[in-house]
């Protein structure tokens, strides 16, 4: 049984009013800049968002934007701020939003969280948060020609620890045409504040915005390169663009081809897919495949890939907190499951599997733990056990998209190509933008002789997630 406690807000949140820029109308460039730092549920106020929001606002004003700034906004204040933004949009306007604070992924959407959000279940995220997709959709419906979203919210936050069926970090955005979106970190990954007064993401962003003669896409690409190099590839911003016209942050600059050799030469680091399963979906999908046991070759035992050494696991604050809970109560199933997720995200697969073992021992019907153990076992090469886990998860929940995706990977690594295609097809019917299934299906189709179809799937997957090929290579699949 799971219990949800009422949220006791012991910190009085000081909410600064929305501060209009005071400037006269500056044409059709408008921006809403929000910095949220004082979350009562956090251990301490975030150091970066307020300073970052002010610096971004100042730069945008210099670049001709009519800027409105909000600091430590409640849900009502954020709603009013967005309504004002919508009301200022004219046909063909450039509309930009910058948000720094906590963000949470729910049902494959990213939500910006106000400071007074009371989040104890995943449903609370959708109730109190603001969907980035919904905001961009409304901006588009008002006639904006160029839509830009700069989101610095891929932080570890206190809300995700309260429910198990969540996905870490932020989700891909299904945005209207003419949209440019950038996250401060890769999809489904989280970063910690660096303890400084400004985030690395905003430092690099402001540096590149001030470079003349750059189109916006090149500005953000150079920002990604700068953040990736400065963080030694531990933080890789994510960019999605469907811009149909040239746009530069500095007005009056001419278009220049994006030919930065640094971007082409930058190696793409692996970004582990730490996304735990979403809530159950109600979409009808094909019945799961019958269970298939995969015997190892007669002359060759199953080869397991050894887990890579986890870096500074003992210093990870989430692992520390969960370990303390488990020391107090070794049968805390939620803590076991969550720590397993964190271990898996850091490549400590053997430790992750042990925690998932414990979670499943306490609840044999825990489909999320079964799926995650299936995935971890697949990565290290224990394919027979992985298949059993995925089959059991799909028996308990036949429309479980992440288990279909995981079983597709099991079948792909096992050489059961047709079964892999069936699983990936079923997953993509539920979520057509599930990059791992799209890329996996592409590989499977190529191996099955459908080269052109496979190449198309692979190209589409790489367009959504440039790291997906490296991720699959780390799984042992090329």
Convert the pLDDT of each residue in 355-382 to its tens digit.
Answer: 999 999 999 988 888 988 998 999 999 9
Tokens of 183: 């996250």
Domains of the chain: 19-265 (3.40.50.1460), 313-474 (1.25.40.10)
| Backbone φ, ψ for residue 316 (5° rounding) | -70, 125
Cβ atoms of residues 359 and 336 within 8 Å: yes
**Residue 275: per-residue pLDDT:** 36
Kindly give, in sequence order, each residue whose CB lies less than 8 Å from that of residue 470, ignoring residues fewer than 6 positions away.
268, 269, 270, 271
- Highest mean pLDDT pick, 118-122, 165-169, 393-397, 431-435: 393-397
Express as a percent the part of the chain with pLDDT over 70: 77
* Cα distance between residue 461 and residue 187, in whole Å: 13
| Backbone φ, ψ for residue 140 (5° rounding) | -65, -40
pLDDT tens digits, 8-66: 223 333 334 444 433 333 458 999 999 999 988 777 889 899 999 999 999 999 999 99
Q: Is the pLDDT of residue 247 over 50?
A: yes
* Cα distance between residue 408 and residue 444, in whole Å: 9
Mutual angle of helices 49-62 and 200-209, in 10-degree steps: 10
Beta pairing, strands 19-20 & 66-71: antiparallel
**Residue 290: per-residue pLDDT:** 38
CA 45 from centre of chain: 23
| Residue 279 pLDDT class (50, 70, 90 cuts) | very low
Cα angle value 123/124/129 (rounded, 5°): 115
| Residue 308 pLDDT class (50, 70, 90 cuts) | very low
Can you list the alpha helix ranges (DSSP code H) found in 363-474? 367-380, 383-396, 401-414, 417-430, 435-447, 451-464, 468-474
Give pTM, 2 decimals.
Answer: 0.52
**Residue 5: per-residue pLDDT:** 28
Q: Is the pLDDT of residue 289 over 80?
A: no
**Greater pLDDT, 362 or 463:** 362
């Amino acid at each position: 049984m799971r219990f949800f406690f009422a949220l006791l807000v012991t910190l009085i949140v000081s909410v600064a009013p929305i501060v209009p820029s005071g400037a006269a109308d500056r044409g059709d460039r408008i921006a809403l800049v929000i910095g949220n730092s004082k979350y009562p549920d956090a251990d301490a106020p975030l150091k970066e968002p307020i300073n970052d929001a002010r610096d971004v606002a100042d730069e945008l004003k210099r670049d001709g934007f009519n800027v409105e700034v909000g600091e430590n906004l409640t849900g009502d204040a954020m709603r009013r701020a967005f309504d004002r933004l919508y009301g200022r949009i004219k046909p063909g306007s450039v509309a930009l939003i910058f948000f720094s604070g906590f963000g949470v992924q729910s049902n494959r959407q990213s939500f910006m969280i106000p400071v007074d959000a009371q989040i104890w279940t995943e449903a609370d995220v959708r109730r109190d948060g603001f969907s980035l997709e919904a905001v961009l959709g409304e901006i588009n419906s008002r006639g904006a020609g160029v839509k830009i979203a700069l989101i610095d919210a891929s932080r570890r936050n206190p809300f995700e620890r309260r429910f198990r069926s969540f996905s870490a970090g932020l989700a891909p955005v299904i945005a209207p045409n003419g949209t440019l979106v950038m996250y401060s970190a890769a999809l489904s990954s989280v970063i910690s504040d660096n303890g400084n007064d400004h985030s690395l993401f905003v430092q690099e962003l402001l540096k590149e915005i001030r470079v003349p003669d750059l189109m916006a896409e090149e500005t953000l690409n150079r920002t990604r390169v700068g953040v990736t190099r400065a963080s030694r590839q531990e933080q890789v911003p994510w960019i999605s663009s469907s811009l149909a016209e040239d746009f530069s942050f500095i007005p009056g600059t001419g278009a220049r081809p994006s030919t930065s050799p640094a971007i082409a030469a930058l190696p793409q680091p692996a970004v582990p897919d730490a996304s735990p399963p979403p809530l159950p979906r109600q979409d009808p999908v094909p019945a799961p495949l019958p269970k298939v046991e995969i015997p190892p070759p007669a002359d060759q035992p199953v080869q397991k890939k050894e887990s890579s050494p986890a870096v500074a696991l003992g210093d990870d604050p989430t692992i520390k907190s969960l370990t303390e809970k488990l020391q107090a109560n070794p049968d805390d199933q939620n803590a076991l499951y969550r720590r397993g997720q964190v271990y898996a995200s850091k490549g400590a697969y053997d430790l992750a599997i042990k925690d998932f073992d414990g979670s499943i021992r306490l609840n044999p019907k825990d489909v999320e733990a079964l799926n995650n153990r299936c995935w971890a076992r697949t990565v290290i090469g224990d394919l027979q056990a992985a298949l059993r886990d995925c089959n059991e998860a799909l028996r308990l929940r036949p429309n479980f998209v992440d288990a279909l995706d995981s079983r597709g990977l099991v079948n792909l690594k096992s050489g059961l190509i047709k079964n892999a295609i069936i699983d990936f097809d079923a997953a993509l019917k539920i979520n057509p933008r599930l990059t791992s299934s799209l890329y996996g299906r592409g590989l499977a189709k190529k191996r099955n002789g459908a080269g052109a179809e496979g190449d198309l799937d692979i190209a589409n997957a790489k367009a959504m997630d440039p790291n997906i090929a490296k991720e699959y290579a780390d799984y042992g699949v090329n």
